[in-house]
Structure 1
Amino acid sequence: MPDEFTVTPWEVKGKVDYDKLIIQFGTQKITEELKHKIKNLTGGELHVMLRRNIFFSHRDLDLVIEDYEKGKGFFLYTGRAPSLGMHIGHLIPFIFTKWLQDKFKVNVYIEVTDDEKFLRNQEYTLDQTRSWAYDNILDIIAVGFDPDRTFIFQDTEYIRNMYPIAIKIAKKLTFSEIRATFGLETSSNIGIIFYPALQIAPTMFEKKRCLIPAGIDQDPYWRLQRDIAESLGYYKAAQIHSKFLPPLTGPEGKMSSSNPETAIYLSDDPKTVEKKIMKYAFSGGQPTIELHRKYGGNPEIDVAFQWLYYFFEEDDNKIKKIEEDYRSGKMLTGELKQILIEKLNDFLEEHRRKREEAKKLLHVFKYDGKLASEMWQKVHE
């Protein structure tokens, strides 16, 4: 069927119908009422990704807000499976998590799963995935997290401190549950079977409710967590889910680090960015200028517009004007792409500057910062 799609923690295929996905996963749509409550708590401001429903679905976000209003607080947790180079799409959960940290002044735990990447890919060595973790952490730090409230850790380094809670989690989960949740084969290595316990563990780093900003493809992990958390004396994890930034090649699937034609990498120079956008960015325009002037373009399928809408053009009035001009045919596809190219290159130039600074801050976030020091000394009872 042409409208079929697949969303798992490791694969996104087809054109995702997010309304159907909410029903399939049993999550809740973020309502205008919830947005209004958040706006009241953040000084009248909503992040562009909330305003435009890029973060669109949740579990227990209302309870997180209630806890905060009652003075109980909450903490944030997100993560990254390291790869040889991060792309623009990888930054979405980190940009949004950083905004939440700024507004609510809460702790952030960021898990870098070098173990999972090694276990799931036969062609990768552990040395490779550990090396990629170092590079990816620099890109994460460059987003601008508060060094006093952020702990970034690699599983292979922090396993000693996580292991006590991880084995308590593992004892609650059965092979049948893991196999059914992730579609594992009986030939899967036992590391993959145990790994979900490690990804669940950070949801129990504090005796507060944990809010996880992440792509909705990661939701299966938290369904498992929610089944066992209270039996271990912790809150069920709350989540806020994002849509997938469309790949350059069109509205189906998501960007891939292994396919350069689909993505803009954080390391791409200005000429590479321009070449990729002009050559590969899927157009919603007409075949000729004459037809485009007459009939206009379709921003719903135009990748350049969608990237601007997701977060590269934060001004609501400007994005509305761009949309109107493109629909009417006043703005051509090439002109729309040029706007994105300029925005992208400005963003990447600033990101690379901050990434260089991040090299001096690496130990703060991993070992020496206030939260990092506390976590390295802490062993769960």
Structure 2
Amino acid sequence: FLLFVEFVTVSFLLGYLSSNTIVLFPQAEIDAAVQLLLKLKVDYKQMTGQDYKAGCPPSENLIVSNNGPAADDCDGEDLVDPWNVSASSTKGVDYDKLIVRFGSSKIDKELLERIEKVSGQRAHHFLRRGIFFSHRDMHQILDAYEKHKSFYLYTGRGPSSEAMHVGHLIPFIFTKWLQDVFDIPLVVQMTDDEKYLWKDLTLEECHRFTVENAKDIIACGFDVNKTFIFSDLDYMGASPQFYRNVVKVQKHVTFNQVKGIFGFTDSDCIGKISFPAIQAAPSFSSSFPQIFGGKKDVPCLIPCAIDQDPYFRMTRDVAPRIGLLKPALLHSTFFPALQGAQTKMSASDPNSSIFLTDTPKQIKNKINKHAFSGGKDTVEEHRKYGGNTEVDVSFLYLTFFLEDDEKLEKIKEDYTSGALLTGELKKILIETLQPMIAQHQERRKQVTDEMVQQFMTPRPLNYKF
């Protein structure tokens, strides 16, 4: 925006000089101003992907060049993009700053109360504890629901390995709660095409990972009558309506815009540059004619981690220009790596994650050996000064998976006072995760290839309204 103001200022000066018969400035200064104007024009287009037009400031949603990997390497700044997350503080990402930087809205007490009123249910503990902390247009979704107009959910998974870790469960646990509470359909995009473009994997491997990951998603308990899981590699070729929406988005986003949003460079393959349009397409109900009968006006709500927001800022900017609704979003915080909250879990580092395939012994060993502690160096110091729950990974994990608010608060009090030692806190986490993962593994064993095929077959879904 500052560039826009500077551009307007220089343009006004040149216009003033050219419209007055008496020129009070030397020709050299006028020439310099012209050169500055030309340079600003080039800079403006590089940053926004738009040619300058008098009186038309750039779209706010497109001023996101500070969001790409190339622009987030400043000291003291958190790095957050769809592929990388790292924090400058041991406490993790500063989410209040991220809300300001991304231009989203904080999920406040008023919104929580309204969600409870409209749904008739107590807010999920992910909402109560600020794990889902930010939103875009959630009030509009609730407005529509109160008027007896349905909406649908869209979330996704990038299948880069056979095994998912517990951090991957977060959006699906929350999405299932939303589906059950509001009785609405869900589409789950498996971006196997994305993983082929970004990873050193074959198409066959990516598609196989889609099927394996789909089994873990189904094991979360989704209703097959309300849920459609699809592979990009399959569905793109089977749905003309989906592909038409992809093409519409592609036409209305420039190369300069995707470079600014995602940090792409000239050495990136063209598949990466065009992929954001594919992730945008499920935001529009017309991409699923088998579910919505060609309707273009069914609102979409996307629960996702906030690192995916750049895709949907782009989508929300494009939607009105192609005659479609902007999707609404609910953003979650990141599930931290065992080594600390400065980065999120990685499926490529087995010691940073608790996998859904881990045995009880592996879970115990990983937590005891790798979980970053907020405790003091000695028992005596810990008893005297207490531990820090803001950085202790075992406590952070419990905020995700221990549903009892009173028990969690008691653990916090005991740990910060020094009454509870680090080893005892880790034991509580181990005893929480072991049965949870064992139960998930049992449910997954019941998921057959035929069930996966049923979830992944384009078909009508049953839902309220």
The TM-score, its normalising length taken from structure 2, stands at 0.78
* 1:358 CA displacement: 2.0
* 1:133 CA displacement: 0.9
Superposed, 1:89-104 pairs within 5 Å as 89-104=167-182
**Percent identical:** 49
Match of 2:206 in 1: 129
* 1:65 CA displacement: 0.7
Match of 1:229 in 2: 319
Match of 1:354 in 2: 443
Q: Distance in 2 between matches of 1:175 and 1:33?
A: 40
Q: Secondary structure at the match of 2:110?
A: helix
Residue-by-residue CA offset, 1:228-269 (whole Å, 9 max, x unaligned): 112222211110000001110012010001111211011010
Q: 1:62 aligns with which of 139, 143, 165?
A: 139
Match of 1:309 in 2: 399
Q: Distance in 1 between matches of 2:459 and 2:129?
A: 34
Q: Distance in 1 between matches of 2:149 and 2:198?
A: 38
Superposed, 1:158-177 pairs within 5 Å as 158-160=235-237, 161=239, 162-177=242-257
Q: Distance in 2 between matches of 1:262 and 1:352?
A: 20
* Alignment-mate amino acid for residue 101 of structure 1: Q
* Alignment-mate amino acid for residue 266 of structure 1: L
* 1:363 CA displacement: 1.9
Superposed, 1:37-116 pairs within 5 Å as 37-84=114-161, 85-116=163-194
- Two-structure CA RMSD over aligned residues (Å): 1.4
Q: Distance in 1 between matches of 2:113 and 2:150?
A: 19
Q: Distance in 1 between matches of 2:407 and 2:446?
A: 32
Match of 1:263 in 2: 353
* Alignment-mate amino acid for residue 275 of structure 2: Y
Q: 1:147 aligns with which of 209, 213, 224?
A: 224
Aligned: 1:157 with 2:246? no
Q: Distance in 2 between matches of 1:232 and 1:98?
A: 30
Q: Secondary structure at the match of 2:331?
A: strand
Q: 1:198 aligns with which of 235, 258, 278?
A: 278
Number of residue pairs matched by the alignment = 370
Bigger-Rg structure (1/2): 2
Q: Distance in 1 between matches of 2:310 and 2:304?
A: 12
Q: Distance in 2 between matches of 1:368 and 1:342?
A: 40
* Alignment-mate amino acid for residue 265 of structure 1: F
Residue-by-residue CA offset, 1:131-184 (whole Å, 9 max, x unaligned): 111111111111111111110000000012121221122111111111111010
Match of 1:378 in 2: none
Q: Can you give the 5+ residue segments of structure 2 that lack an aligned partner in the other structure? A: 1-73, 287-296
Aligned: 1:334 with 2:423? yes
Contact 2:386–2:417 at 8 Å: present in 1 too?
yes
Residue range with higher mean Cα deviation, 357-366 or 229-238? 357-366
Q: Secondary structure at the match of 1:253?
A: strand
Stretches of 4+ aligned residues off by more than 6 angstroms: none
Contact 1:83–1:136 at 8 Å: present in 2 too?
no
Contact 1:68–1:74 at 8 Å: present in 2 too?
yes
Q: Can you give the 5+ residue segments of structure 1 that lack an aligned partner in the other structure? A: 373-381
* Alignment-mate amino acid for residue 316 of structure 1: D
Q: Distance in 1 between matches of 2:279 and 2:229?
A: 14
Q: Secondary structure at the match of 1:277?
A: helix
Match of 1:216 in 2: 306
Q: Secondary structure at the match of 2:123?
A: coil
* Alignment-mate amino acid for residue 91 of structure 1: L
Aligned: 1:249 with 2:329? no
Match of 1:344 in 2: 433
Q: Distance in 2 between matches of 1:43 and 1:200?
A: 31
Q: Distance in 2 between matches of 1:38 and 1:16?
A: 26
The TM-score, its normalising length taken from structure 1, stands at 0.95
Q: Distance in 2 between matches of 1:35 and 1:20?
A: 21
